[in-house]
A = this chain, B = another copy of it.
Amino acid sequence: MKQKFYNLQITTNGQKLYEFTDQTIKWISKYNFKNGLLNLSVQHTSASLIIQENADPDVQIDLINYFDKLFPMDNKSYIHTIEGKDDMPAHIKSALTNNQISLSVKDSKLLLGTWQGIYLFEHRLEVQKRTIIHHFIGE
């Protein structure tokens, strides 16, 4: 059994989807992983990991806009406001999406659909440094 860890750092600058599919594939290829599970986890509770379409960029714009509509910043009922108006909605968005994704690797290939990309979904407004742990277990 082979196990390996890697911390991918992404500096974000506002509410957007940051694709890192290529960095993940490069890492798999570098260590010549054949078959196994790749566990990705983001070490924060105001950003998410999601698999989304990487074909039409409008999908991401609509997604971000609709998230802001569903989980608005200007909600007077929030008690937790000390870290900024974007922080509480960020925690709600995080709870409703994922901090963690497990992907399968088969014959040295990351099993994603044709239009699927892996994204860090940033929910904060200011510049943030985010860590995404990569953990491979397999052979």
Residue in contact with A62 in the complex, picked from B5, B43, B70, B79, CB distance below 8 Å? B79
Q: Cα distance A35–B78 when bound, in Å?
A: 40
How many residues does chain A have at the interface if contact means C-beta atoms less than 8 Å apart?
A: 61
A59 and B80 contacting across the interface, CB-CB below 8 Å: yes
Q: Cα distance A80–B56 when bound, in Å?
A: 8
A95 and B50 contacting across the interface, CB-CB below 8 Å: yes
Residue in contact with A95 in the complex, picked from B52, B82, B111, B113, CB distance below 8 Å? B52
A91 and B59 contacting across the interface, CB-CB below 8 Å: yes
In the assembly, how many copies of this chain are there? 3
The closest CB in chain B to the CB of A4 belongs to B35
**Scoring A residues 40 to 62 as 1 if CB is less than 8 Å from chain B, else 0, what string do you get?**
01111100001111001011011
A133 interface hit (Cβ, 8 Å): yes
Q: Cα distance A136–B23 when bound, in Å?
A: 25
Interface locus among A8-16, A24-32, A101-109:
A101-109
A135 interface hit (Cβ, 8 Å): yes
Residue in contact with A56 in the complex, picked from B37, B82, B135, B138, CB distance below 8 Å? B82
A138 and B37 contacting across the interface, CB-CB below 8 Å: no
Q: Cα distance A14–B113 when bound, in Å?
A: 20
- With A58-B80, A79-B62, A98-B98 given, is the CB distance from A45 to B137 under 8 Å? no
14 contacts between A and B (CB under 8 A): A3-B36, A3-B138, A36-B137, A41-B103, A41-B111, A52-B94, A52-B95, A59-B88, A62-B77, A62-B79, A62-B91, A95-B121, A111-B133, A111-B135
